[in-house]
Amino acid sequence: MPENMPHHNPPANGIYDVTIIGAGPAGLFGAFYAGMREMSCKIIEALPEVGGQLAVLYPEKWIYDAPGYPKILAKDLVKRLWEQTARWNPRLCLDERVNLLRIGEDSIMVLESDKGVHYTRTLIICAGVGAFSPNKLKNETVDRFEGRGVYYFVQDKTPFRGKRLLIVGGGDSAVDWALNLKDYAKEITLIHRRDQFRAHPSSVTELMSSPVHVMLYHELKEIRGDNHIESAVVYDNRTKAETTLDVDYILLNLGFKADLGPIKEWGLEQQAKRYLKVNNRQETSIPGVYAAGDVAAQPDVEPLNLIATGYAQAAIAVNYAYTFIHPEAKVFPGHSSEMRL
C-alpha cells in the first residue's frame, strides 16, 4: 500500500464516474486527470503495489524519457506519480484481478473481480501488456539456481555490488542493466546469441564502448556450483567452442510473455492480437470503455509503448470519458495553470 494513503470518500450511490484498471504510469496519470475533472475514481490493480512494470520489472533502473526528469529511478518515478495522483483521493484496490465486465441497468458497467463487484459509469483499461511472466531457458542447472543466484528481474541491485555478473540477452533490459551495473559490479559479461541487438541503438553504442565484456553469438550451456554459483559455461553457437566464466550471479533478460487474460473475453475488438483496438479518442468497441498505454493500439499505427505516450492517451481517455457522462460538456477542460488546485 502506498505511504500516506489519503482518506477516501466513495460516491454515495457506490457508482464511480470512472474506474481505471491498472496502476502503472498511464493508470496513475489517468486517475490524476480524473481528479482534475472532479470525477470520482477507482483504480483496480492486479499487483500488490502501484507502478506496474516500473515497480515489478526494474525499480532500480534509470528512466531517461520521463518528461521533466533528466533521469529518474523507476521506483522514484512511481512515488512521484502516486503523490500526484493521491491528492484527489482515488479509491485504490490492490492485489485484485477483474475477471468480468458486463453492462447492467441504466448502462452502468459492472466489474466482477476475485474480491467483489464494482460499479462504474465509464472504464479505462490501462493494463499495460497484461499479466507477464519471464521467458525462461529450458536448462536443469538454471532451474536449480533460480532465486539463489539466477534472476529474471532486479528488485534490488545490492547483491551485485563487487560481484561478477553474467547477463544473458540482447534487448533493452539486458543492455540497460549492463550499463546500470557496470560501475557497481566487479565485472560484467554480457552474452547474446546474435550480433544484432533489439535494444535502443544509443544504448548499444554506449555498451560497446563500456568496460562490459560483450560476447556475441554466445549462449548459456551450464551453471556450475554447489550451494552457490561458481561458474558458467557458455558456447559459441557457430563453432560450438565452449568458454568457462567465473561468475557469482546470472541475470537472464530474455523478454517475457504477456497475456491480456480475462480482458480477452469481454467482447472488446482487438488489434494485432495483444492490443485493444482504439480510435483517436481512445475509445474501444464498447461505448464508455476506453484504453490507454501499452494495451491500446490504433489501426494502421505502429504502437509507441512509451511512458510519455501513455500519459497523453490517459488524458485523452479521461476527457472523453467525462463527455460520455456529460455530453454537453467540452472535451478540453482548460489548462491546469488556469485552475485552482
- Identify the pLDDT of residue 133: 77
User: Where residue 340 falls among pLDDT bands split at 50, 70, 90?
Assistant: low
Per DSSP, 106 falls in state G
> Which of the residue ranges 12-21, 53-62, 149-158 has the most confident prediction, judged by mean pLDDT?
12-21
- What percent of the chain shows pLDDT beyond 90? 78
CB burial string 124-152: b at 16+ within 10 A, e below: bbbbbbbbeeeeebeeebbeebeeebbbb
Examine the pLDDT at 202 and tell me if it is beyond 50: yes
User: Residue 1 has what pLDDT?
Assistant: 46
Q: Strand, coil or helix: what is 307?
A: helix
State whether residue 113 is helix, strand or coil: strand
The count of other CB atoms within 10 Å of the CB of residue 300 is 6
**pLDDT at residue 257, as a whole number:** 79
- Least Cα distance to 275 among 287, 264, 267 occurs for 264
> With bands split at pLDDT 50, 70 and 90, how would you rate the model's confidence at 66?
very high
Rounded to the nearest integer, the mean pLDDT of the chain is 93
- Average pLDDT (306-334) is 96
| Contact criterion met (CB below 8 Å) for 124 and 90 | no
- At residue 5, does pLDDT exceed 80? no
Q: State the fold for domain 136-254.
A: FAD/NAD(P)-binding domain (3.50.50)
Lookup: cell for 146: 533460480
- Grid coordinates representing 25? 504510469
The Cα 320–Cα 94 span in angstroms is 26
Per-domain residue ranges of the chain: 15-132+257-338, 136-254
Q: Sorting pLDDT into bands at 50, 70 and 90, what band is 285?
A: very high
Supply φ then ψ for residue 52, to 5 degrees. 60, -135
Rounded Cα gap, residues 131 and 258, in angstroms? 6
Condensed to tens digits (0 to 9), the pLDDT of residues 77-86 reads 999 999 999 9
At 116 the pLDDT is: 95
Tell me the HSE value of 291 on the side-chain side, using a 13 A CA sphere: 25
Torsion angle of the four alpha carbons 23, 25, 31, 33, in this order, in degrees rounded to the nearest 10: -170
Residue 252 is predicted with a pLDDT of 96
What is the side-by-side strand order in the sheet with 187-192? 150-151, 249-252, 164-168, 187-192, 213-216
What string of DSSP letters covers 26-93? Answer: HHHHHHHHHHHTT--EEEE-SSSSSSTHHHHT-TTSEES-STT-SSEEHHHHHHHHHHHHHTT--EEE
Please write down the HEC assignment for all residues of 118-176: EEEEEEEECCCCCEEEECCCCCHHHHHHECCCEECCCCCCHHHCCCEEEEECCCHHHHH
pLDDT at res. 3: 53
| Helix 172-181 with 201-208: angle, nearest 10 deg | 40
pLDDT at 334: 81
Tell me phi and psi for residue 103, to 5 degrees.
-95, 120
Fold topology of 15-132+257-338 = FAD/NAD(P)-binding domain (3.50.50)
Mean pLDDT lowest among 22-36, 53-67, 209-223, 288-302: 53-67
pLDDT in tens, 247-283: 999 999 998 877 788 999 999 999 887 899 999 999 9
- H or E element, residue 313: helix 307-325
Dihedral, 84, 85, 89, 92 alpha carbons, nearest 10: -140
What is the DSSP-derived secondary structure letter of residue 319?
H
Q: Is the pLDDT of residue 307 over 50?
A: yes
Instruction: Please give the model's pTM, rounded to 2 decimal places.
Output: 0.80
- Once rounded to an integer, what is the mean pLDDT over residues 65-82? 95
Rounded Cα–Cα distance for residues 94 and 23 (Å): 9
Mean pLDDT of 323-327: 97
Mean pLDDT across 308-322: 97
Residues 118-144 have a mean pLDDT of 90
User: For the residues 79-97, what does the mean pLDDT come to?
Assistant: 96
Comparing C-alpha atoms, which of 231, 211, 212 is closest to residue 149?
231
